[in-house]
């Protein structure tokens, strides 16, 4: 979580100061526990998909940071060869199967992947991260239904950060309803977990990944969390007026890193010094990788259509 925080904070600074990262960026600052708690409950043979808010799960799953930084700078050595940007990350070796910006798209892709794992008799699980906003896409309902009927080994990971861009969940859904409730209505088991408590998230994820692997069908985790920065971009959005300063302060006081540190302090009396030391190491790591990425070559114009689907010329 500390590594993800440092990496994203520094990338936000570079994004703002240099105007060299030309891809839209959706940071997970404040949401690190959902990425780490779930991804550490998987093996590299389990595949994780995400939507646009992708850096944190990519790194938590073991994705290569060097290739992420190069991708953000649009370089050929990026994980999508500089063609995808922040919202199209991939590291198949780590089991990070891909991210895509169309809301809900990767929910159905994960269901298809998990279904194929099961059809081949492989004890593997597919997981798909999405926000509360994506649950309002029709594909969410269709995917729940298909996964329930076919007992697909998929874990739906909803990062409920209360907003879809600037639109609050309370203005979009009837009072008294929950995302968990909608999953259960479709016949999918579901749990609501404090998404800023990395230990609670991890415990739940270990349990549901095991159940899916054992053939007990799909599960949805609804993780309550909060995005600190603006929806897209490096800045803060206190002045935008769609959420109150008090609400932001309240959630920042529930910082997942601070909470984990507090929970560990008794067992690990030197935890604060360790976090400070890790921070220093990660600051160094990201400084070096950014300096390196800025000097890497861009993709060549000749290879612009490599990897693109083109109908064969007749
Ligand atoms: C099908 C589709 N509709 C609209 C958008 C534009 N859009 C991008 S992100 C976003 C809000 C997403 O909110 P949520 O799913 O809660 O995820 P969060 O950004 O909070 O992590 C919207 C509406 C899109 N990318 N795809």
Q: Which residues contact 158 (CB under 8 A, 6 or more apart)?
A: 130, 131, 132, 134, 135, 179, 220, 221, 222, 223
Measured from the CB, is residue 25 less than 6 Å from ligand 1? no
166 CA from centroid of ligand 1 (Å)? 10
Taking a C-beta distance cutoff of 8 angstroms, is the pair 225, 33 a contact? yes
Which pLDDT belongs to residue 313? 64
Measured from the CB, is residue 165 less than 6 Å from ligand 1? yes
24 CA from centroid of ligand 1 (Å)? 13
Residuewise pLDDT in 10s, the chain (314 residues): 999 999 999 999 999 999 999 999 999 999 999 999 999 999 999 999 999 999 999 999 999 999 999 999 999 999 999 999 999 999 999 999 999 999 999 999 999 999 999 999 999 999 999 999 999 999 999 999 999 999 999 999 999 999 999 999 999 999 999 999 999 999 999 999 999 999 999 999 999 999 999 999 999 999 999 999 999 999 999 999 999 999 999 999 999 999 999 999 999 999 999 999 999 999 999 999 999 999 999 999 999 888 888 887 66
233 CA from centroid of ligand 1 (Å)? 14
Measured from the CB, is residue 182 less than 6 Å from ligand 1? no
Measured from the CB, is residue 15 less than 6 Å from ligand 1? no
Q: Which residues contact 192 (CB under 8 A, 6 or more apart)?
A: 178, 180, 222, 224
Sequence-ordered alpha helix ranges (H) in 197-255:
198-213, 245-252
206 CA from centroid of ligand 1 (Å)? 28
Measured from the CB, is residue 53 less than 6 Å from ligand 1? yes
Q: Tell me how far apart the alpha carbons of residues 282 and 104 are, in angstroms, rounded to a whole number.
A: 32
Tell me the pLDDT tens digit for each residue of 49-68. 999 999 999 999 999 999 99
Measured from the CB, is residue 133 less than 6 Å from ligand 1? yes
51 CA from centroid of ligand 1 (Å)? 8
Residue closest via CA to ligand 1's atom 12 equals 164
Residue closest via CA to ligand 1's atom 3 equals 103
**β-bridge partners, 47:** 126
Atom of ligand 1 nearest to the CA of 31: 21
pTM of the model: 0.97
Q: For domain 2-295, which CATH number applies: 3.40.50.970, 3.40.50.300, 3.40.50.1100, 3.40.50.170?
A: 3.40.50.970
- Tokens 């597919």 label which residue? 126
Residue closest via CA to ligand 1's atom 11 equals 164
Taking a C-beta distance cutoff of 8 angstroms, is the pair 57, 39 a contact? yes
Measured from the CB, is residue 195 less than 6 Å from ligand 1? no
Ligand 1 pocket test target in 54, 99, 133 with most atoms within 8 Å of CB:
133
Measured from the CB, is residue 102 less than 6 Å from ligand 1? yes
Q: Which of 10, 59, 13, 64 lies closest to 32 in space, CA to CA?
A: 59
Pairing of strands 167-168, 163-164: antiparallel
Q: Tell me how far apart the alpha carbons of residues 159 and 107 are, in angstroms, rounded to a whole number.
A: 13
Q: Tell me how far apart the alpha carbons of residues 120 and 193 are, in angstroms, rounded to a whole number.
A: 32
């Amino acid at each position: 979580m500390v590594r993800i925080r440092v990496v994203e904070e520094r990338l936000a600074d570079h994004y703002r100061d240099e105007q060299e990262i030309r891809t839209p960026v959706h940071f997970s600052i404040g949401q690190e526990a959902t990425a780490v708690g779930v991804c550490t409950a998987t093996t590299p043979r389990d595949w994780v998909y995400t939507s646009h808010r992708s850096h944190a799960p990519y790194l938590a799953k073991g994705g290569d940071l060097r290739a992420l930084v190069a991708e953000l700078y649009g370089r050929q050595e990026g994980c999508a060869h500089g063609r995808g940007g922040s919202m199209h990350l991939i590291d198949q070796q780590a089991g990070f199967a891909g991210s895509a910006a169309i809301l809900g798209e990767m929910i159905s892709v994960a269901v298809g992947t998990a279904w194929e794992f099961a059809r081949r008799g492989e004890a593997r699980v597919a997981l798909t991260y999405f926000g509360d906003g994506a649950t309002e896409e029709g594909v969410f309902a269709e995917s729940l239904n298909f996964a329930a009927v076919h007992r697909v080994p998929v874990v739906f990971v909803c990062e409920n950060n209360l907003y879809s861009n600037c639109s609050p969940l309370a203005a979009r859904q009837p009072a008294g309803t929950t995302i968990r409730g909608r999953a259960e209505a479709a016949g999918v088991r579901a749990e609501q977990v404090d998404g800023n408590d990395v230990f609670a998230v991890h415990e739940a994820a270990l349990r549901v990944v095991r159940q899916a692997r054992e053939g007990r069908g799909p599960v949805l985790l609804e993780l309550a969390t909060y995005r600190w920065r603006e929806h897209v971009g490096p800045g803060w959005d206190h002045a935008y007026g769609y959420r109150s300063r008090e609400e932001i302060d309240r959630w920042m006081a529930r910082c997942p890193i601070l909470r984990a540190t507090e929970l560990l302090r008794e067992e690990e009396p030197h935890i604060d010094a360790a976090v400070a030391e890790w921070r220093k190491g990660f600051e160094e790591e990201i400084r070096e990788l950014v300096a390196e990425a800025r000097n890497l070559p861009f993709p060549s114009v000749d290879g612009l259509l490599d990897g693109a689907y083109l109908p064969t010329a007749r």
